[in-house]
Amino acid sequence: MTIAENIRLEQEMSIIRDPLDQTKQMSVNADGSISVSPATGSVQVVSGAAPVGSAPTANPVGISAIDLAGLKRAILSDALGQLFTTEQDSAVFTASATSASVLFTVDMSSWRSCMVQVVNAGTSCTVTYEGSNDQSTWTPVVGLLANPNTATSPSSAMANTLSTTAITYQFPKRYKYFRARVQVYGSGTVSVSYCLSASEVHPVVAASIWGQVPEGSTFSGNPVTIGVEARTSSKTSVSNGQLVRPIGTTDGRMVVRPHSVPELEWSYVAAAGGILNTTTAVTLKTAAGAPYRNYLTSIQVQAEVLANATELAVRDGAGGTVLWRIKIPTTGLDLKQIDFADPLKSTSATLLEVVTLTASGTGAVYFNAQGYVAP
């Protein structure tokens, strides 16, 4: 310690208080040691300009630190007074293997993460990453892809990280020791580079939320409040099997389409001239593949003056069970619109047909129908 430093220390730190609140005088000896003795004479106790919890009123005291070379350095801060700090990473190391063997093992005691870049994955080789506290029992660990544009699904994030191609991972510290190992060797040289860091791994987490019980199970627990996309115009359609948001009005009323999606709706239009003087059935909708049924939601019926009264029937399958019928007199029938609140339905994988059970002689019957296909 220099004389100048002795003088400064005696000037700036000459008075202290011990735990019993006794005023003490501190001095620096020639050999650099510090002596503390009861204060004598007139004593001036130096304290802060304001108590804890108060706004400072005086100018701040500058502070410094000693660098690794023993030199004094000013401590810097930003405009808000926050100190600048740096965390030194290790050098970059390399390792390679031409067999199923350990590439490298590192002690993570002084580090928080390890970045591993697979420079060459060889041919048909697999690199696994493991952690251990005793270097005897090793457990597979999970790493984070260093490419921020690559998304990992929650299910794959729960699995052991494996490398079969050139790729870079960041591994957080989970055990005292960390290693990379060629688990499966095919051919070629597997080479990696790695470095250790004092920085934590901060992944961008995508949370997946799902229900308490699967579809088809008894429900339990409280429901989750949901929202829909408010629309004043049609939205862009997506492809079959893709995720799509439900839509609603701007005041939160959900837009619901009855029965089925448009692509599964069907309609039957009466043939020109209608059903004339025949008991041969007409197919309304061909059979849908199992386990799907044909559903009938609405029909329109009209008949001219007939020579013979008849019954008009809708049947489940060719010559099958009658699902619906109406009597048409010889005087004919004005146009009737009939809507089924509970749609008529066929048996699974069965057609729907319409038939006049008695030939009309003269005069035609007109029949239109609409429906959809569903399980």
- Domains, the chain: 1-48 (no CATH), 93-197 (2.60.120), 263-374 (2.60.120)
111's tokens: 């580090």
More confident position, 145 or 249: 249
**To the nearest whole number, what is the mean pLDDT of the chain?**
82
Q: Which pLDDT band, with edges at 50, 70 and 90, does 123 fall under?
A: very high
In this predicted structure, the answer to whether residue 11 has a pLDDT above a threshold of 70 is no
Question: What's the Cα-to-Cα distance from 111 to each of 95, 106, 200, 235, rounded to whole Å?
Answer: 19, 10, 9, 51
SS3 category, 70? coil
- pLDDT digit string, tens, across residues 62-121: 777 777 677 887 777 777 777 766 667 888 999 999 999 999 999 999 899 999 999 999
What is the CA 159 to chain-centroid distance, rounded? Answer: 16
Q: Which pLDDT band, with edges at 50, 70 and 90, does 129 fall under?
A: very high
Q: Which pLDDT band, with edges at 50, 70 and 90, does 148 fall under?
A: low
CA distance 22 to 18: 5
For range 175-187, the mean pLDDT: 94
Strand order in the sheet with 34-38: 15-17, 23-28, 34-38
**Percentage of residues of the chain with pLDDT beyond 90:** 48
In this predicted structure, the answer to whether residue 195 has a pLDDT above a threshold of 70 is yes
CA distance 287 to 243: 29
DSSP strand pairing (229-230 vs 247-248): parallel
CA distance 81 to 372: 70
CA triple 223-152-137, angle to 5 deg: 105
- pLDDT digit string, tens, across residues 220-242: 777 777 888 888 888 888 888 88
Beta bridge partners of 338: 299
CA distance 123 to 186: 6
CA distance 198 to 212: 39
217's tokens: 């199970």
The pLDDT assigned to 22 comes to 54
The pLDDT assigned to 15 comes to 47
Task: Indicate yes or no: pTM above 0.75.
Answer: no
Cβ atoms of residues 68 and 74 within 8 Å: no
Which of 44-53, 83-92, 188-197 has maximum average pLDDT?
188-197
CA distance 270 to 301: 10
| Phi, psi values for residue 262, rounded to 5° | -55, -35
| Phi, psi values for residue 6, rounded to 5° | -60, -45
Query: Kind and range of the H or E element at 7?
Result: helix 3-12
9's tokens: 């220390």
Question: Torsion angle, CA of 369/371/373/375, rounded to 10 degrees?
Answer: -120
- pLDDT digit string, tens, across residues 208-224: 677 777 777 887 777 77
The radius of gyration of the chain's CA atoms, rounded to the nearest angstrom, is 43
The pLDDT assigned to 152 comes to 43
User: Residue 83 gets which letter from DSSP?
Assistant: B
CA distance 133 to 141: 13
SS3 category, 155? helix
> Could you tell me where the DSSP H helices lie in 194-292?
none
The pLDDT assigned to 31 comes to 60
